[in-house]
Each structure stands twice: as C-alpha cells, then as structure tokens.
Structure 1
Amino acid sequence: MKLSTLAASATLGLSAIATAAPSHSKTITYTTVKGYFLQDEPSTDPSTFDYTSHNFGLIDRRYDSDKHDPNTRDLTQWERFHRELEYLNKHSPQHVSYKLVFMGRHGEGWHNAAESYFGTPGWNCYYSLLPGNTTHTWFDADLTPEGVSQASIAHTYWQSQYAEQNIHFPDAYYVSPMTRALKTANITFSGLPLPLDAPFIPEVKEGFREGMSMHTCDHRRSKSYIESLFPWWTFEEGFTEEDELWTGVTAETEEAQDERSRDALDDIFSRSRRGPFWKSKPADVCGGPGHDHDHGHGEDEKDLVISITAHSGEIASILRVIGHQPFGLSTGAVIPVLVRAEEVKEPDGPTASATWTHSAYCTAPPATSTASGCVCAASAPPVTSGFPVGGTTVPTPTPF
C-alpha cells in the first residue's frame, strides 16, 4: 500500500480499505541470502544472542570471491565479506542486486518501561492509549537512560569493529520518524570515523515507523520538531508536517504493515545504478553521476551497505518481507542481513490493499490483566468504536 493511500484512509478512520487498480508490470522480490550470519541459522536463539559477541554475527568462512582474489590472505573477515558483496553484484544479472542491510532497534523508550510496569495486557487495553502519566510521557516516547546506554553500546561496538575489523560503514542511513529511533540513530553513528563520501546524514522515512495501533507511542511529532532536533537530516519526498497516518481509532494489520515495509524497501533498492530498473542517483547526490567518490563499490552499484533504525515490530515486518526467519530483537540490538533483490515481471491486473481494523480497549484501568484480551472494570465490555481514552491530547514535549 502506498503511503499516500494509507494516509488518506487513516485520516478517514476507515476499518477496511479495498481498492482495485492496475498492478505494476514490474516488481521487486526479496530473498535472504543465508549462510553469512548466525542470525540466519535456525539454531540461533534470538532471546540469548548478543550481536556484540562476534562481528555482529558474521560467520567465519571462506567466500567464492576469495577464490578469485589472491590478495585476501591478510584481510579481516569483514573486509573479505565486503569483497564478496561486490563480487555478488558484479557477477549477478542486470535485474538482480545485493545489499547488506543493518537493522537496529531503538533503545528502551518510556513506553517500554511503562509496559513493563503496568503489564502487557493492561498496557494494551488502557494505559497505552494515554499520552503519559504525571512523571513520564510515552506519546512518541523518548529514550530512557537505559535506552541511551543501549544506543551508546551500539556506537562503541561500531567503533571497535572499525578499529579491529575495518568494517565497511553504511553507505546510506534511514530512520523512523519516531523520537526514540531518531535519537538512537544519532547516538549510534555520530562521531564515528565515517568516510567523507558517506557521511551520517540519514533520511527520515515514514515507511520504517512502528506498526500503527491506537497506542499514543505510535503517534509521531511534527516535521518541525524533528528538524529542531536534527536540522541537517533529510526527509523522504512528501513527508508531511503533521502525522497523517496515526488516527487513535484504527490499527494497522500485519499485512498492511508489510505492504508499507515493502514500499520503503522498493524505494531504497531502486536508487542504485544498475540498468533501467535500478534507477540512477541524481547528479547532485554524493556518489551519483558526475562524482568521483566510489567508496569501494566499483562502477555498477552504489549503497551496498545500508542502515535502518526502526522498531521491533517494523524490523519483524521487514524480516517477513525479505524471507528471513523470525528474529526478535531486544531494545538497542542490531541484526545484519544479506538481501538479494530481483526485478520480476507480473501480469497486469487488479490488486487489493490490506485492511486496518478497530481494536478493543477499556475506558478505565482494567480490573485484571490477562493475555487473552481486555477484561474491563465492573465487567464492562471492551469498547471498539470512537476515540480511545487518550483522545487527541498531546503533551508538550520536554527535553530528555
């Protein structure tokens, strides 16, 4: 679902959207290329895995590119992996592209702390619909001190991987517009010894925000607020001043979230330089036509390594889209995935967009918290229409 359609339907508060339109004759299919990272292995337990334990999970192994390059003996594992990434792109068909995608979950936010305090059922049924309490705000939640620490761990680990492994830093950065993700990305990548032709100037992208529910933590602040925090960052085309997606009434289904995740990936993967489908960068973009900097990619491909700072639910959605096994991330954790993208032709025909639904909630703190659903006070039935208890009240943000 294109975000323009999504925004319109969300603003109207529709519980279901069904449209029929001609499909594109070309689309991109995504595949996880397994065998490179421990996170690809079914035997790896995401609940205990520590991405800082060894090279972000990069498996020590030989690559096909090693056979064709006599100068790899003294290279680190990450240096040889990057040559493998270049090799895959150089020897792939014109309609196939490979990218290494680093997905980082934001550090702990005040909404995470509130859910732990109130319990998940009570949080989902009532407290998440409030903008906050007398001590903390979880509308577009900021980072807790623990969240800041988790982002700092990621920063330090990137720094050590560069010093010890000469890891290739991301060529492009994308970040969710939610405050907790913005600040996590900034703490993680600011101050690193990045190359001049790939500085940390992320693009703020609606497609990578958390799955949208009635929770106020899913309601973003204005574009002006984001610009006040990071005035040198960029925004995707069409990014609106106010949040036109969150309604406080309807919730995005898993299918709808996967559609917008796919649209965001399509936009990123279509910005490289391979052939008519892989669109060229404009001449005024660093690394585009007319620029000498190559950042080690050869002449056929740009932005081989990308960073996405997002959320647990959104990263889970991206993993579904690229065919990766489920791999839950704790707050502040990072997962790298080698992604293969292929242009395929599809017959023209009508397409149906995914639905949004109303969710049940309580109008007062729930009497009990159960995993099966909302149990409201005085045996009152859960409400499924109208604005939730949080309404549209938005507290004034205060600096962290």
Structure 2
Amino acid sequence: MYSTLTAGALLLAASAVNAQSLNVTSGYINYTTVTGYFLQDAASTNASGFDYTAVNFGLINQTYPGSTTELTQWQQFSAQVNALNAAAPLNTVYKVLFLGRHGEGYHNAAETFYGTPAWNCYWAELNGNATTTWYDADLTANGINQALVAHNFWQHELAVQKMPYPQSYYSSPLTRCLKTANYTFAGIQTPAYYPFVPTVKELLREGVSIHTCDHRRNRTSIHDLFPSWNVDDLSEYDTIWNGITAETNDAQDARSKKVLDSIFSGDDHTWLSITSHSGEIGSILRVLGHRSFSLSTGAVIPVLVQAQFLPSGPPPSSPPYTTSTHCAHPPVTSIGSLAQGCVCSGTAAGGIAVPIFSVSGDYPAGAGFQATDLNTPTGAGGASVTGSARHSTSHSTSTSHSSSSSGHAATTTATVTVTTCPILSSAGASGSHSWSSSYGW
C-alpha cells in the first residue's frame, strides 16, 4: 500500500510524525518491532560474533516500493520509514532506535580475570582492588577502541550510505555509557538542528544489582564531565542503587517501559541513538517485542519500532526487587539454584545479605557511598587493601575495520592514547592482563 504514496506525502511525513507523537500525552503506549528490515530481526541470524560494521548496521539489501537504484539502501529505508509515518493513523508513530552497548569497562575485564563465580559473589561488591576501580566502571583501552570503531563506522555510513543522522541522543548515566556515547559521536559534523547534545536518562541504566559497577556517580560529577549535556532527569544522588536489593527481569522491563514511554511521548524525532548496557538493551528489546539478541561490548543494534498510543492498557506494574547475597570471601563455586549462585566458604554457605562496604552516616539517606569511599577498596573481612589505586601505564592502540554494503567499502583506523590500570594477578602482584568480555553489565 505504501507504493501508492505520493512524493508530497513522503515529504510531509516528517511533520506528520511530529504531530502524531505529541498529540497523545496520556494512556498506554503499545510497542511492536517491525521486522523484515534488519538481519538482527531474523531468527536465522546468530548474535554470537555478529559484526554490525560488516553488514551496513544489519540493514537488509532489498528493493523498496517506488524506489530507484540510484539511492543507497539507507536512503531507500529512510523513505520507507517516512512512508510508514505518513500512512499511519494519528495514534501511531514509527521510530528507528540505534541501541548501542558501551565499550568494554574495567568491570568486564575484572569478571573475565576473576571468573564469574568470584566476580558475582565477592569482587563485584567491592569498589575495586588495589590497582583498579570498577565502581561506576570506566572504559578500558579496548573499550575506548570499540567506541572509536563505532565513531568511524558512523562517519562512513553518514558520508557514503547517506543514512539519516540521529536527531536525538540518549545515554545511561553510568560513566562507561557517557564516555562511549562521547567517543562515538563527538567530532562528527552533525546538522546544526540535530546537534550531539545527549539527554542522560536515569532509567536507561544497567539492571540494578548489588554490583558497585551499577552505582552511578552524583549528578554534579556527571555535569562536570560533560557540561553541555542534559542531566535534568537525574537527582543529585543515586537513590536507586543500595547494594542490597536487585531487580528481577520483570522489574527491569517495567522500568524500561517507563523510560521508553518518556522518550516516545516527549520526543517528536524519528531517528534516535540510545547508549546503554547489555542487560538494559536486552530488556528494551523484550518490551519492544524484538527477539533476544545479545550485543558484544561496543556493538549497535538498530530497531524499527511501531508505537501505538492507546486510551488505556494494562495498569503500570512495579514488581518488587529481591534481596541479593554475596560472600565475605571469594566463593568456593556457584550454582544456579542459589541467589547470585554463591556457594560461600565458612558457615554462610548460601551467602550473606549484609553489604561488604560501610555506608557513612553523614551521607544522604539512600544515596549510597560517600565520594571518599571510592578510593578505599576493602578486602575480605573488611580489611583495607593497600596499594596504589592510580597505578597506570600509557600506550597507544589502533584498530581498523572494513565494511562492505551495497558496493561500498571503507577501511578506517583509529589511534588513541589511554591510561589503563592493570587488574591484580592471581598471585596478588600487580600485572597487566589481556581481556575480552561479552558479559552483561
């Protein structure tokens, strides 16, 4: 039916979608993934090892109604999205979300180094070890490179494939996402009317757990890091993370629905970039009715979404959080039938619920750590771990990728000088370690 749309209707589509998304301010929004446009939509596409830079972000090569071969695949797809919006009822809107996972963080590296049982049940509940901090984890050198790969590929696609620029940018408030978004898009010459000025959304954060990598810094620190970004959605302190309770999948999905509702009801743009986390992107995909598709660190998945603004729907849900347990020492092993899977040494075989850290009494209630606590990792039994938390080495790292789509190819190289902190070796001495990680968080 879309082939019958006139050129005038296509040109008016953008203004039509603006009116649609803002006309409905209450009720229920129903989300559906529109399949058939991206490889990631198809059950036959294996998420393991999927390289979005090798396949045009996964956009399927196809012929669109009323299109010509003189247009790139992204230009044709963009016209198709405009056609969908032009033909949609007034309560329906179509948007394309580019869901990007942050680059590798020090918490990813630490989990690989210590192993998942020891990480989940002990180390993840600390701020770091004697040489590395993973509280609100920063990017590793590899994580920075992954974000630069995305930067270079975006530049290629915008220039060669003529794909639409993101019109709005959103990010999780956690440091690894803020920096990934900045490395990815800073320096790209965006249209003046679609500047790279992200909105930081509290509820785009990773699944809430007792891991300190999921505890964000205060709003002032985030504002100081990127002063031009919109942080109005954040309270000064992190009132969601408490180091004791964790979200269930149902609770996270309810949160993801809430943040999507906020974005779709308040943003009249069609092309949106969202930088978030493996677990949170997985939750967003569930809310959108998309098939499960696990992203490696630094990867991006585009999704065409239909949103219907309905007068009513299921009542909002607030599934309860669960109390998580951990070990006072690195655990013996882990099994799935126990909370966190922890099989602890000593008498607390099933794990303990008391946080390893001490919350200072003069810190605002519910806000979590004091800023000064971040520089003092604690070891087993609460003993302070001595050593330099700022030991670093500087080195340059480069990466290149090739992309082939619709007859176009690109090879880019990114070089960056970074400061890295090595994880403690298993013998307890400081040493460098090479990691790769596809875990969540």
CA contact (8 A) 1:367 1:378 kept: no
After superposition, residues 225-374 of structure 1 pair within 5 angstroms as 225-237=221-233, 239-272=234-267, 302-346=268-312, 352-369=317-334, 373-374=341-342
1:211 equivalent to 2:210? Answer no
- Cα distance in structure 2, aligned partners of 1:151 and 1:305: 20
Q: Which residue of 1 aligns with 2:180?
A: 184
1:16-55 CA-to-partner distances (Å, cap 9, x unmatched) read xxxxxxxx97200000000000000000000121100121
TM norm structure 1 = 0.81
Asked whether 1:220 is paired with 2:208, we answer no
1:156 equivalent to 2:135? Answer: no
Residue 199 in structure 1 maps to residue 156 in structure 2: no
Moved more, 72-81 or 101-110: 72-81
Which residue does the alignment assign to 1:279?
Answer: none
Following superposition, the deviation at residue 169 of structure 1 comes to: 1.3
What is the match of residue 141 of structure 1? 137
1:58 aligns with 59
> Displacement of 1:267 after TM fit?
1.0
Deviations 1:127-168 (A, max 9, x none): 100000011100000000000000000000001111210111
Task: Give the match for residue 435 of structure 2.
Answer: none
| Other-structure match for 1:47 | 48
8 Å Cα contact 1:262/1:321 also seen in 2: yes
Q: Counterpart in 1 of 2:343?
A: 375
Please tell me the residue identity of whatever aligns with 2:333.
Answer: T
1:108 maps to a residue whose letter is E
SS in 2 for 1:156: helix
Match of 2:354 in 1: 386
Determine if the alignment matches structure 1 residue 38 to structure 2 residue 39: yes
Deviation digits for residues 362-381 of structure 1, max 9, x if unmatched?
11111235566211113532
Identity, in percent, stands at 51
CA distance in 1, matches of 2:153, 2:194: 19
Structure 2: distance between partners of 1:354 and 1:362: 26
CA distance in 1 between counterparts of 2:133 and 2:103 reads 16
- Kept in 1: contact 2:155–2:188 (CA 8 A): yes
**DSSP 3-state at the match of 2:88:** coil
The TM-score normalised by the length of structure 2 is 0.74
Note if contact 2:150-2:184 (Cα within 8 Å) is conserved in structure 1: yes
Name stretches of at least 5 consecutive residues in structure 2 with no aligned partner: 1-24, 360-368, 376-388, 391-417, 420-441
CA distance in 2, matches of 1:28, 1:252: 23
Count of residues in correspondence between the two structures: 341
Q: Look up the SS of the partner of 2:147 in the other structure.
A: helix
CA distance in 1, matches of 2:317, 2:100: 31
1:357/1:104 CA distance change after superposition, 3 Å:
same
- AA aligned opposite 1:363: A
Contact 1:151–1:187 (8 Å) recurs in 2: yes
For the residues of structure 1 that align with 2:277 and 2:28, how far apart are their CA atoms?
26
Aligned equivalents of 2:325, 2:80: Cα separation in 1: 49
Between 191-200 and 389-398, the greater mean CA deviation after superposition: 389-398
The more displaced of 193-202 and 365-374 is 365-374
Deviation at 1:352, TM superposition (A): 4.6
Distance apart, 1:236 and its partner CA: 3.9
Please give the secondary structure, in 2, of the residue aligned with 1:29.
strand
Q: CA RMSD for the aligned pairs?
A: 2.0
One-letter amino acid of the structure 2 residue matched with residue 44 of structure 1: T
* Structure 1: segments with no counterpart, 5+ residues: 1-23, 273-301
1:234, CA displacement in angstroms? 0.5
What SS does the corresponding residue of 2:130 show, helix, strand or coil?
A: coil
Which residue among 113, 116, 137 is the counterpart of 2:112?
116
| Aligned residues of 1:220 and 1:243 also touching (Cα < 8 A) | yes
Which letter maps to 2:142?
Answer: E
Distance in 2 separating the partners of 1:204 and 1:25: 23
Q: CA deviation at 1:386?
A: 2.7
Distance, in Å, in 2 between the alignment partners of 1:179 and 1:154 is 17
One-letter code aligned to 2:41: D
- Quick one: distance in 2 between partners of 1:252 and 1:236? 24
Cα distance in 2 for residues equivalent to 1:56 and 1:173: 18
2:101 maps to: 105
* Aligned residues of 1:130 and 1:390 also touching (Cα < 8 A): no
